[in-house]
Structure 1
Amino acid sequence: MSGCGCDSGELMPLSQALERLLADVRPLVETESVGVEQARCRVLAQDLLSSIAVPPADNSAMDGYAVNTAGLPEDLRLPVSQRIPAGAQGQPLQPGTAARIFTGSEIPPGADAVIMQEQCEQQGEYVQLNRRPQTGDHIRPAGQDIRPGQCAVPAGTRLDARHLGVIASVGIDRVPVYRRLRVAVLNTGDELLMPGQPNQPGKIYNSNYFTLKGLLEPLGVDVIFSGVVEDSLATTRDALALAAQQSDLILSSGGVSVGEEDHVKAAVQSLGELGLWRMAIKPGKPLAYGRVGTTPFIGLPGNPAAVLVTFLMLARPYLLKMQGCTALQPSCFQLPAGFGRERAIPRDEFIRARLVQGEAGLQAAPLDNQSSGVLSSAIRAGGLLLIPAGERVAPGQLLNFYPFHGVLD
């Protein structure tokens, strides 16, 4: 890491901060083989090539009758020469006949179309077609989905249910994935209590650990809870040093601002280096990045809404790249603003927003309370709406909306 200008008083733009974080990532290299049923949320370490075609042969897309369109009689009445259930292999189609066939059954040699049963009438050992089929009707060709030698799933993919189904469809039962990332989570503050402890004056319950654990587990990482760290430089140093020995990355919340009891910045600098500090982002200005020894460290703010925003926008892409993922950014799309705002601020602002139906269609509207200490509004929000630094907002203006769906599960 080059010099960060941490004490210059300048705030680093979000895009620049993310670029510098991602440039500093050292991705995992260790891999392991796991069964497909254990591979959800893991990151694929190499391209998976199919050795077969999917489907392996031409098959029927409908329940109906397989025919040869060139050999149909004028009256479209044909004897039924065979019955082909799914899983059975039919005989070559006898000229001038039809084969009773079912969805997924292989097309018999000599047939080139399937007519659905709703367009036929069964008449004893004959079938009466009510229309003349065209070549290729209702036939799914071999390799329609995947061809032999084709890459079924590329390396760097974080596997979800869709990928697991495709992998299974080509007959692969084990996949090479990067090993699980170990992330140490520590929360700083003398005021923190763990849920279940008796409430006390001046104390608050530690919500940040549970937010972070819930954000980390869908990424397929092993979470190490390093505990609640009291507000002292020595204790913070000891906790960071131990976390560095146990993990691939340290993720903290709190203690990175400028108060007299904020010791994380000094502790990191004494044990390693601080590469970034203070972002031009709201909420979440006092975000820190550096290394404790050789272990990367990301220090999130202490306010719970700021933890959510900075994790999704900065920490999550870093973790994904560290895991070997190729898709790093949270998905977003543009929505018209269902509100206006005259005041511009010099930071990128992420507001918790809900989707509302306006006269012109779907719009994004802010929740009432945007305090960085208010987390419950995130439950009522559909995602985060970005107001770029220095911009006012006009009703109907298109803004980037980052839905929670897909990044929280």
Structure 2
Amino acid sequence: MNSICALISRDDALDVLLAGVEIIPISQQPVDEAVGRISAGLIASSPLPAKSIAVTDGWAVRALDLVGASSYSPALLMMRPSWVESGEFLPDECDTVIESAWLDQKDDIFQIVSEPRPGEGTRPVGAEVAADFVVLSPGQKVRAIHSLIATKLGLESLSVRTPRLQIINVSGGGDQSFTAQYIAEAAARAGAVVTRMDVAKTTTAIASAMVATEAHLIVTIGGTGSGKTDVTIDSLRSIDIPVAHGIAITPGRTAAVGRKGDTPIIALPGDLEGALGTWLAVGLPLLDRLTSRERPIELRPIRRKISSAVGVAEVVLLASQAGEWLPLAVGELPLWALSQADAWMLVPADGEGFPAGELCQAYRFGDEK
């Protein structure tokens, strides 16, 4: 049975996890499978489009040949211009696409009855993406638009950092399976490749799963409390894995951190509140370190006062409202608040909260929620 003697701070828990952790190596992922991964960077090697293209159906012409053209004084062409469809490259020497009605043919003489603007009806070289444009910065999450650009640049793969995360779900019944699923999906949205293993709530089963696991990050779920059947922490210690049990985070007090050699381990509670609170407070920063990601911070004033207990870091759920952050819940993550939250923040343990109107740093939900 686990016991919690003294709580370590959230910062100390992070130090345990981050000690010696290195950014994982770059790997190549097929473009169509890279969405959601964390990029190692992409710079456009050539402009898009590489040649001017038509954005409307019409006649491809050179605008300089049609200066002053009108119905009273049409411009004469000795050859029929080329017809292009939207999306096609313009012929060499052409820089403009005109409507079909502007061309009047009499015998072998072709007349243009209106003067176009140079470039009209076209998208010029580099209008979509300039050469050397930074499509993806290192640490940026790959989105569908990035995949599209990479495909148009002729790339078959993208350079990404893909951490492997192993979840060991210590089966306890009830809502715990949902907790494991929720954390797995949240980690996947943050760029990890997640595998899940369900094991019995016994010392032997947990220890065996831990010994067999190879990953960049190991997360156990369940069995971290002080109940008679909560044996996760004792199981880790039985195979000589040092564990700091009890973190000054609300929610998430019964969580633990440790290391299996160079691999960080986070032992999450089985309840969703405690698991998610700990994941946001220490799991995401660790995952960000592994992928060299800088998670965007959004600074806004808070609409009403946040009160917090000194000595404990508290997770706060926030809604975006009229350019401010509206606190929904402090130190707890009820489902109604999670369903309404746009962002979250962490009140540090050395403060008592924030007064109304103070600028507060928050992280947008999206990867985690």
Q: TM class, shorter-chain normalised?
A: 0.7 to 0.9
User: Residue 298 of structure 1: CA displacement?
Assistant: 0.8
User: Residue 315 of structure 1: CA displacement?
Assistant: 1.4
- Who is 1:290 aligned against? 258
User: Residue 183 of structure 1: CA displacement?
Assistant: 0.7
Cα distance change, pair 228–336 in 1 and its aligned pair in 2 (3 A): farther
Cα distance change, pair 162–273 in 1 and its aligned pair in 2 (3 A): same
1:387–1:399: 8 Å Cα contact kept in structure 2? no
Cα distance change, pair 258–274 in 1 and its aligned pair in 2 (3 A): farther
- Who is 1:224 aligned against? 196
1:254–1:303: 8 Å Cα contact kept in structure 2? yes
Between the aligned residues of both structures, percent identity stands at: 21
Structure 1 residue ranges without an equivalent (≥5): 1-6, 87-102, 195-203, 230-234
* Separation in structure 1 between the aligned mates of residue 361 and residue 160 of structure 2, nearest angstrom: 33
User: Residue 223 of structure 1: CA displacement?
Assistant: 1.5
Higher relative contact order (CA 8 A, sep 6+): 2
Question: Which residue of the other structure, out of 353, 366, 387, is the alignment partner of 2:327?
Answer: 366
* Separation in structure 2 between the aligned mates of residue 342 and residue 28 of structure 1, nearest angstrom: 39
- Who is 1:186 aligned against? 169
- Who is 1:57 aligned against? 51
Query: Does the alignment pair 1:163 with 2:130?
Result: no
* Separation in structure 1 between the aligned mates of residue 15 and residue 97 of structure 2, nearest angstrom: 57
Aligned residues: 354
Counterparts of residues 394-405 of structure 1 (less than 5 Å) = 394-405=355-366
User: Residue 165 of structure 1: CA displacement?
Assistant: 1.1
Counterparts of residues 17-36 of structure 1 (less than 5 Å) = 17-18=13-14, 21-29=17-25, 31=27, 34-36=29-31
Of stretches 256-265 and 53-62 in structure 1, the one that deviates more from structure 2 is 256-265
- Who is 2:75 aligned against? 78
User: Residue 225 of structure 1: CA displacement?
Assistant: 1.8
Question: Which residue of the other structure, out of 32, 37, 60, is the alignment partner of 2:32?
Answer: 37
- Who is 1:241 aligned against? 208
- Who is 2:302 aligned against? 337
- Who is 2:282 aligned against? 314
Query: Does the alignment pair 1:346 with 2:306?
Result: no
Deviations 1:221-264 (CA, angstroms, capped at 9, x unpaired): 141223342xxxxx335413323313313212344456676543
1:84–1:105: 8 Å Cα contact kept in structure 2? no
* Separation in structure 2 between the aligned mates of residue 279 and residue 116 of structure 1, nearest angstrom: 69
Cα distance change, pair 388–278 in 1 and its aligned pair in 2 (3 A): same
- Who is 1:378 aligned against? 338
1:278–1:285: 8 Å Cα contact kept in structure 2? yes
* Separation in structure 2 between the aligned mates of residue 327 and residue 257 of structure 1, nearest angstrom: 32
Q: Which letter does structure 2 place at the counterpart of 1:181?
A: R
* Separation in structure 1 between the aligned mates of residue 313 and residue 263 of structure 2, nearest angstrom: 29
- Who is 2:108 aligned against? none
Query: Does the alignment pair 1:173 with 2:173?
Result: no
Deviations 1:98-156 (CA, angstroms, capped at 9, x unpaired): xxxxx4333343344x3775xx9636344433x662x5556533344456677765666
Question: Which residue of the other structure, out of 128, 149, 153, is the alignment partner of 2:113?
Answer: 128
* Separation in structure 1 between the aligned mates of residue 23 and residue 226 of structure 2, nearest angstrom: 32
Question: Which residue of the other structure, out of 92, 98, 122, is the alignment partner of 1:109?
Answer: 92
Cα distance change, pair 57–127 in 1 and its aligned pair in 2 (3 A): same
RMSD between superposed Cα atoms in Å: 3.9
Query: Does the alignment pair 1:207 with 2:178?
Result: yes
Q: Which letter does structure 1 place at the counterpart of 2:209?
A: L
Question: Which residue of the other structure, out of 305, 310, 324, is the alignment partner of 2:273?
Answer: 305
* Separation in structure 2 between the aligned mates of residue 278 and residue 61 of structure 1, nearest angstrom: 62
Structure 2 residue ranges without an equivalent (≥5): 106-110
SS in structure 1 at match of 2:212: helix
